[in-house]
Amino acid sequence: MVICGGGPIGLAACAILKRHGAAKVILSEPSVGRAELGKKLGADYVIDPTKVDFTEEVLRLTDGYGASLYLEATGLPTAVYPGIEKAIWEGRTLNSTIVVVARADAKMPVTGEVLQVRRARIIGAQGHSGHGTFPRVIECMASGMDMTPMITKKISLEEVPENIIMLRTDRKECKITCVMD
């Protein structure tokens, strides 16, 4: 499994996929702090796509196979998708699935032939839209899956406005929790 993006969704995916038996979880994330969180939550390997070639590294870590699942959780489809597509094209795995969970205004630059020849597919998912997502996550957490490492900052109610503004420009925090006194 390859997860592109170490924000809250990508990090939660590391934990859930590993907990449910993924043999190898690879996280692609340039932020050192988020990469470390990914390892704590279940990623076996972390790729910094700003320092290494994403496709080459995925193929190296999977002995040339690529992944059966690619999770796009960055919201940067024009930057991320070409590497995913190249890994599918050059890898030996057929029937890969690309799950798009990040929202973005940009269009994904898809080459239909790659999907056809490699029998791959793209699906969209929105975790909070239902389909049993919340009950399954709650069940995992109740059975011991600890997601608290994702909380990287605790703030008071008065600090909420400045932190909402900060989240638009500074991606160092993962999850911010408001603590009520």
**Whether residues 138 and 82 fall in one domain:** yes
**Whether residues 130 and 58 fall in one domain:** yes
**Whether residues 169 and 130 fall in one domain:** no
pLDDT tens-digit map of 153-181: 888 888 888 888 877 777 777 777 888 76
Q: Taking 90 as the threshold, does the pLDDT of residue 42 lie above it? A: yes
Question: Six-digit token pair at 113?
Answer: 């032939």
Tell me, what's the pLDDT at 69? 97
**Whether residues 134 and 68 fall in one domain:** yes
**Whether residues 136 and 174 fall in one domain:** no
**Whether residues 157 and 69 fall in one domain:** no
**Whether residues 48 and 131 fall in one domain:** yes
CATH number of residue 14's parent domain:
3.40.50.720
Structural domain total, the chain:
2
Rounded Cα distance, 17 and 43, in Å: 9
Residue 156: which domain range? 147-181
pLDDT tens-digit map of 49-102: 999 999 999 999 999 999 999 999 999 999 999 999 999 999 999 999 999 998
**Whether residues 102 and 167 fall in one domain:** no
pLDDT tens-digit map of 100-142: 998 888 999 999 999 999 999 999 987 655 566 667 677 777 8
**Whether residues 22 and 59 fall in one domain:** yes
Tell me, what's the pLDDT at 134? 66
- Give the residue, 47 or 171, on which the prediction is more confident: 47
The verdict on pTM exceeding 0.95 is no
Tell me, what's the pLDDT at 127? 61
**Whether residues 75 and 162 fall in one domain:** no
Tell me, what's the pLDDT at 112? 95
**Whether residues 91 and 35 fall in one domain:** yes
**Rounded mean pLDDT of 26-37?**
95
**Whether residues 155 and 111 fall in one domain:** no
Q: Taking 60 as the threshold, does the pLDDT of residue 9 lie above it? A: yes
Tell me, what's the pLDDT at 80? 95
